[in-house]
Amino acid sequence: MTVFEVKYEDLAGRIGILKTRSGNLETPVFFPVINILKDEISIDEIKNMGFKNFITNSYILYKNKYIKDDIHKELNSEDMIIMTDSGAYQILEYGDIGITNYEIVNYQLKIKPDIGVILDLPTGNTNDYENAKITVYETLKRIEEASKIIVKNQDNNIIWVYPIQGGKYLDLVKTSAEGLSKFEDIYNMVALGSPTVLLERYMYDTVIDMIYTAKSNIKRGIPFHLFGGGLPHIIPFAVALGVDSFDSASYIIYARDNRYITRTRVYKLEDLEYFPCSCPICSKYTPKDLLEMNEEERTRALAIHNLYTILEEFKATKQAIKEGRLFEYLQEKAYSHPAVYSAFKRLIKYKDYLEKYDPRIRGDPKGLFLFDNNSLHRPEIIRHSRFLERYVQKKDKVAIYCYDKAISDTAYDYIKSIKERITDHNSSDIFIAIPFFGLIPLEVSDSYPLSQFEIPNEIDEDVIADMKTKIVSFLRCKNYQKVELVNCEKLGLHIDSISTSS
């Protein structure tokens, strides 16, 4: 059953369409956790905010005999896409919860959510490798058990989720992910479990490792969910690796603790003099107003704001994907918090993975913004370096013209001026030397993005050093008899500093 269609891609992230029996859902998407037994935030309220979907806990519904038949009808939510979790979080919190995988799967078949999850055994943040191993193999056992029930009820049209466990032990995450190959016709969605505690402890780089390990060991086309991913700070980084959907109760849990979520950090309400937001809550009240409310009203108001913030982050991330600017957006986000910066640095460790899935051709390409040495890890820069390695020398001579912003504001104007000045293209191979790219052959300089980018007026020393290294490495691999450098003094390039001998 085909349940997922990709519309746009950037890095390894994508905007897609998740097809359910209750309608289509554009991803990346957030599933707010709704506890039906509590009325802090209602389904109608999240619907009015713009959500077409939510997740609720089938274990809680089963235990309290709250839903007996079709969940959409009983919750008056026939126009909403409903995902049901299984009770794994309760296992993580309380241990044995007195229910079996068999019972929870059959209950979900009865109440007919759009997306269902088997009762996996979560790893959590255990420091005991053997215990973590037990959770992986027990989950694999339950996956196989549930598959037999699902196959007998395939006409139910529920999208069943294959849960991946293993926690911070990446070899176990790999083992768990690889197990999907036996069940690809049964489970049409994958979810990574156990990041919640790590996220709460700002161990974002570890979560990046977990996502990459899981994603790189399953097929690209299957939609991927992150359980407990409810902080705007980490969402775009997870999306960049290919996470398509998230769920969390963070918006209400933080609200109960007087915590105010922004897209860059979390504040205690009492530490705020002003609200840096214009959502309906922040437009109407001040921090002092909320502090003077009774606890129930304050929690409700904070939860609504927190949800708006999460929704805003998803919209910003999708816009970045649509424009092909996701890498730049991640750079912008990286400096919001040291833990987020660690996540970004860990992400670019997987630059070859990001480059592999980043589209070569875009329908409406935007110019690149290049900032510092982190920009050297962009897919476009990596691909150009590989192109230079394959470049075939055509002449005995090479002429290198060094770009200088004092001469031309943009690389495009500079390259255009070089083309106008050079009348004889037959005597030399001609290149433009530019920070980040290194060398751009004049004959392909019109190709995107080789003249469609912006760089700072002041270039970091490590970026200049990288450029020099690329140029020297290129020349040493070729057999040019003569090297001519034009306007290269400002970049510190001199003939005597370049040896064409290996």
Annotated binding-site ranges = 120, 277, 279, 282
Buried b (16+ CB within 10 A) or exposed e, 405-432: beeeebbbebbeebbeeeeeeeebbbbb
272 contacts: CB under 8 Å, gap ≥ 6: 260, 287
Using CA atoms, how far residue 433 sits from 83, 92, 415, 466, in Å, is 53, 56, 10, 12
How is residue 376 written in tokens? 């050297």
Query: What radius of gyration do the chain's Cα atoms show?
Result: 27
Q: Is 111 helix (H, G, I), strand (E, B) or coil?
A: helix
CA 273 – CA 295 distance, rounded (Å): 19
How is residue 497 written in tokens? 């500093």
| Binding site per annotation, positions for substrate | 120
Give the total residue count for the chain: 502
CB 477 within 8 A of CB 469: no
85 counts as catalytic: yes
Strand partners, 117: 161
Nearest to 239 by CA among 479, 492, 94, 27: 27
What does 305-320 look like in DSSP terms, one character per residue? HHHHHHHHHHHHHHHH
CB 366 within 8 A of CB 450: no
Please state, as a whole number, how many other Cβ atoms lie within 10 Å of the Cβ of residue 278.
9
Q: Is 389 helix (H, G, I), strand (E, B) or coil?
A: helix
| Binding site per annotation, positions for Zn(2+) | 277, 279, 282
Residue 190: alpha-carbon gap to chain centroid: 15
293 contacts: CB under 8 Å, gap ≥ 6: 301
CA 261 – CA 303 distance, rounded (Å): 9
Nearest to 57 by CA among 45, 67, 47, 49: 67
| Active-site position among 85, 209, 247, 466 | 85
Q: Which residues are catalytic?
A: 85
